[in-house]
Structure 1
């Protein structure tokens, strides 16, 4: 087992069981080819559809707000 896999397993072991299961599903569902890895739930699809409608109505964040959000979560 590679070192990075060992590190990933250590991190997984520290997570709550529900998160461990979700990440395990992602790994198990990972395709052997170039098809999509993640399939949206109906709720996620509805959220994206609403986001598209918001964009069409011009309800978007100004560049300064977007940069502030990226700065807040950017890995340093």
Structure 2
């Protein structure tokens, strides 16, 4: 454990029990959210690579048009 995390836990340990539980729940929810995003992105890597390859093929075949910001 890093010294910064140790200090954070030291400060948190002095909070009332309710606030400690709120902090703990917030951290656990954040960890779970990060885990889910990591899982989703790891599954989408092949899809993104396929989409990029398709876009490059379309560009090479002249099937694309240059983006005109004035027409957005």
Alignment TM-score > 0.5, same fold: no
What band does the TM-score fall into relative to the shorter chain?
Answer: 0.3 to 0.5
Return the structure number with greater relative CO, CA threshold 8 A, min gap 6: 1
TM-score under structure 2 length normalisation? 0.44
TM-score under structure 1 length normalisation? 0.42
